[in-house]
Structure 1
């Protein structure tokens, strides 16, 4: 293998050779065009009205940079030294020609967009202004001043020679440079037959007009002179249809034919003075080229704007189609949800009706106890379904905000073991939770919900064997894994299981309650926490879910764990609870339960009735439990605040709502109230009440 250190000189040598070759090529082109232009000089050997080298030099510097100036200088010096004057005047003229190209290119790069100068009317106008007013006078002034100082031109001819020199350079810059720059910097699209034929058509038209109006092939008569105005037709065609590049090409073609015809004595510009004839040709070329380039740039902008609008319209139509499809899918999902939720929620309701019917019949004590346990299990199943719906609603509303902290994973593992130990024993399954002393960074409550859902799913689907929950360190991540020996998940269903309301088809003996939202909640929570989750499963052998959580150094807990008080930790005798609910059945159910717990209960259906009851009782309630939504569009928050205002103090309050939207939870949080969603677990309600009593001094 070659040593890279030896390749550096080779690369440098190749670049040097390439640079030298480029200079030679540009110099040769400049020299050939210069000798051709000087051959047409009549007023002075060094002052010619036809000077293409200005356009060649200006385009060369724009395309290849300022480093090509030596080629321009050398070629200009050789051309002038071999034509007239002396070596000193040739050097001065070459200096003026080089400065003309470098200064013009610098100003065009600085003010007019460089090689993109022909893309807008404004930049075309700046290009023309720079060429006419700033760049070309440099060459004419330096060149003729040096000739005059050396005595090679008379003072009487100086003005005419300067105008001739200047107009020759202007025409070279305005006619030759655009063609070279546009062809040298254009991006050539794929071949288009119609575009190619139209380009051929406009060039053929330009050639025909030039031959008819300007060539010596047609006899020159006074009636032929007006035909020169026909030259504007192919220029307009090219400007309106084909763009700046073809417009500049047509202008160059017409310039060549016009100069040839005038030199041969034909065309409308022929006079007795050849130099004057050429000056007329130059003014004609300038007058048709610059406006046509301006028009073509304006048309090009309009075409690009139309194309942008067309693309924007296509993109908008695509987005509308996508949005329409999303809405259709959302409607289909909504219909599917209503059908599935209706079916799954009716199952426990149907079972409750059957159990209640059994209670109405004479039952033995053991049978009655069993039926009550079945009713409670059915209630818990419905509660789980509603909690899943509530979680999805919160995630959709975007009201869950992660509270990232550092904590030991052992807490969650212990919670998993405590929560599912009895359930797995009841099904005859083995639950093994492997301890870990790792600390992680996440939201403890949301990560706990993820793990609870994963383990709950495993317990629900597994009929025999067991569940293992453990952790593995993977670099800076902790991999928390949940293994089960369930039926497994087919490969074609592994993506679907994280969708809403999806359940893997199971045999009749493994039917279970639920809405199929557990894994959908897991997926949304892990996205919220930015945790990765992996799934491996084999049909008939089981599944493994793994979630990756960042590991942190072991820390110290900021607060000691709070031990919840036991139900009987507070005395409830004498405690007055005000219950506000517009549904009579809710008043009776809540009042009856609280009464069994030992509270004194005041039940009302509205805020007005609540104020009347507490006024009659003349006793401040110790706690208010109110529905969030009351009759006549009122809210429980308003009722609580009215009662607080009547007593002049803040009474602890609990809001209960079946509305899972974001507004009730946001309103409750803003005012510092606790919001529980229906159906409320009685033990959950009792724990919250005791917590409020404890926080408010018993």
Structure 2
């Protein structure tokens, strides 16, 4: 019996270790992709979208808090790929781990649902999982630069804002998409493949046009986001928003199109305003549509059950219901 218990514990430990290692690999890959669109604010490298935060939050929500070592390992690998690890690396790794973990705990505290079928789930992810929890990583990261003397105190808020928004955008753009793809909403609906293909084609044509145009036509993106949210809910809208934000970020870093002849601060403000607007529009509108569809299905189901009861009553049969409780021979029932 003891051998069986030890074997089960070993298998559980091995499964948890492999899962954490997979999370670390995904975190590192997302970090390397995020660094492709980095900007420099007050001499500090920041990313308008930091995908690893979204990967970490989604992994914790899907797999549980036991995978937090994978988040820490992934953060360490990203830092080690940029510079030689030192004593300050531990602070950065800790903040990058604690922030998603706090996001997970806050969301679980308020009863967050992974399918995000309610508007309150979308609002919780935005204000608790994104805006709230990411204050930890931004404050610790920028505060570390100030403490080591690599950043002046007068430059703190500009870098802090860019850092905080970048981490938040990772949560708002990447985490909902991963949650949607991991659940039933991520399954392709064959009956809408024609509409999905047309939406994808329109996205591939209009979004580059909106981003590359020097006339600042970024507003053309929002009808596509609304279309995707109305017809394909969370998976479609977040995929569209992520594509728009990534494309816009790369154009901003190259200072082309709508970001031509702008200063670094103006580029950051304009880019983050667009990314935030796109993420909030896609996320909250999809949550509202999903909640309405769920309510409609519940009402339809209740109407069907009521119709069945009325049919049985009209035929003189007892309405369907749970089987009657059996009583023991020696028992009695109240009148």
Normalised-by-shorter TM-score class: 0.7 to 0.9
Greater shift after overlay, 229-238 or 266-275? 266-275
Structure 2 distance, partners of 1:204, 1:74, is 39
Deviation for aligned residue 1:167? 1.1
Q: Say how many residue pairs are matched.
A: 322
- Are the counterparts in 1 of residues 34 and 49 from structure 2 also a CA contact under 8 Å? yes
2:305 aligned to which of 309, 315, 336:
315
Q: Secondary structure at the match of 1:243?
A: helix
Q: Which ranges of structure 2 fall in alignment gaps of 5 or more residues?
A: 318-323, 331-335
Over 3 Å counting, the alpha-carbon distance change for 1:261 and 1:15 in structure 2 is same
Is residue 282 of structure 2 the alignment partner of residue 283 of structure 1? no
Q: Secondary structure at the match of 2:82?
A: coil
Deviation for aligned residue 1:25? 1.7
Matches within 5 A, 1:330-479: none
Deviation for aligned residue 1:249? 1.7
**Larger of the two Rg values belongs to structure:** 1
Q: Which residue of 1 aligns with 2:169?
A: 171
Deviation for aligned residue 1:263? 3.1
Over 3 Å counting, the alpha-carbon distance change for 1:270 and 1:112 in structure 2 is farther
Over 3 Å counting, the alpha-carbon distance change for 1:72 and 1:287 in structure 2 is same
Over 3 Å counting, the alpha-carbon distance change for 1:50 and 1:127 in structure 2 is closer
- Are the counterparts in 1 of residues 131 and 168 from structure 2 also a CA contact under 8 Å? no
**Any idea what the Cα deviations from partners look like across 1:327-371, whole Å, max 9, x if unmatched?**
8xxxxxxxxxxxxxxxxxxxxxxxxxxxxxxxxxxxxxxxxxxxx
Q: Which residue of 2 aligns with 1:96?
A: 95
2:293 aligned to which of 295, 298, 303:
303
What TM-score comes out, normalization by structure 2 length?
Answer: 0.85
**Any idea what the Cα deviations from partners look like across 1:81-116, whole Å, max 9, x if unmatched?**
442485122111111111110111111111251524
2:240 aligned to which of 246, 250, 257:
250
Q: Which has the higher strand share?
A: 1
Q: Which residue of 2 aligns with 1:180?
A: 178
Is residue 41 of structure 2 the alignment partner of residue 51 of structure 1? no
Q: Secondary structure at the match of 1:42?
A: strand
Deviation for aligned residue 1:324? 2.5
Q: Which residue of 2 aligns with 1:201?
A: 198
Structure 1 distance, partners of 2:252, 2:39, is 14
Deviation for aligned residue 1:272? 3.8
Q: Secondary structure at the match of 1:143?
A: helix
Over 3 Å counting, the alpha-carbon distance change for 1:270 and 1:29 in structure 2 is farther
What TM-score comes out, normalization by structure 1 length?
Answer: 0.43
Structure 2 distance, partners of 1:132, 1:187, is 22
Deviation for aligned residue 1:197? 3.3
Q: Which residue of 2 aligns with 1:344?
A: none
Is residue 147 of structure 2 the alignment partner of residue 157 of structure 1? no
Structure 2 distance, partners of 1:261, 1:132, is 25
Matches within 5 A, 1:57-76: 57-76=56-75
Q: Which residue of 2 aligns with 1:273?
A: 263
Deviation for aligned residue 1:46? 4.7
Deviation for aligned residue 1:32? 2.5
Regions of 4+ moved over 6 Å: none
User: Which has the higher relative contact order, 1 or 2, with Cα contacts under 8 A spaced 6 or more apart?
Assistant: 2
- Are the counterparts in 2 of residues 42 and 275 from structure 1 also a CA contact under 8 Å? no
